[in-house]
Amino acid sequence: MGLCAAVGRKLQTEAGGAPGSPPLDAGTQTISARRTICHPNERSEFVPIVCQGWAALSVAMPDGRRQILSFLLPGDIVSMAGFFGPMSGRIVEAITDVTVRSFKRSDLQALLFKDTALFETVMKAWLEEEERGIQLAVDLGRRTANERLARLILNLADRLAKRGKLHGQSMEFPLRQHHIADASGLTPVHVSKVLGEFQRAGLIEINNRALTIIDAVALRRTGGML
């Protein structure tokens, strides 16, 4: 499964801690859909991990435009970079109801320097995160709307599969079209048109906040993932 989620899971179990030692985590909270978890300039010393539900990590521009950097799935650490510095200027918003567990950065760092294997794992996970950021830039700079959406769907399916949350070819799909638009650099209207086209072409089906991939081969082809 994804390294980031693996680290997240490890931290969650370790947080139980040996009896007698203070608990590692700094609290668990539940946030309801459409609320924001982290405000912009919050120079927080905490590193949040999503335990349940979907969230979005994004950047907002003063005029209201915004870009979603990634969708956070259960087990995801909001940002690996958060281990080493505050994430200022970023917004985390709950898409579904979400439970988050927060860790103190200083605690995590102490843990990191005691456990070489953990350190290695965190670094690898950070590299993976950077790689996904770069693929995002390539998508936004050089791919068409159809390519971007096909890839978005396939990437989500992959990530859910690694968590055992892909049932056959179906997955829960709580995203609103404006989320998809903000993640892919498009408008909600255009997202609607492309997704409609995908469904009419028999590539996917969307029903009841669930998405099923009907023709994975064709979907990969339109995403340029040959």
Nearer to DNA, 82 or 223 (CB): 223
Q: Which of 59, 112, 118, 206 binds a copy of itself (CB under 8 A)?
A: 59
Binding-site member from 35, 39, 178, 221 for DNA (CB under 7 A): 178
Cβ proximity to a copy of itself: between 18 and 61 the closer is 61
Pick from a copy of itself, DNA, none: which does 174 bind, CB < 5 to 8 A by kind? Answer: none
Q: How far is the CB of 153 from DNA (least distance, A)?
A: 14
Reading the block at residue 43, the tokens are 């120079």
Enumerate the H helices of the chain as residue ranges: 3-14, 105-114, 116-142, 145-162, 177-184, 188-200, 216-222
The answer to whether 213 and 206 have CB atoms below 8 angstroms apart is no
Between 26 and 145, name the residue whose CB sits nearer to DNA.
Answer: 145
Buried-state track 90-110, b at ≥16 Cβ within 10 A, e below 16: bbbbbbbebebbbbbbebbee
| Closest CB 130 distance from DNA, rounded Å | 25
Separation between Cα atoms, residue 93 and residue 32, nearest integer Å? 10
Which residues make up the interface to DNA (CB under 7 A)? 34, 144-146, 176-178, 185-190, 192-193, 195-196, 206, 208-209
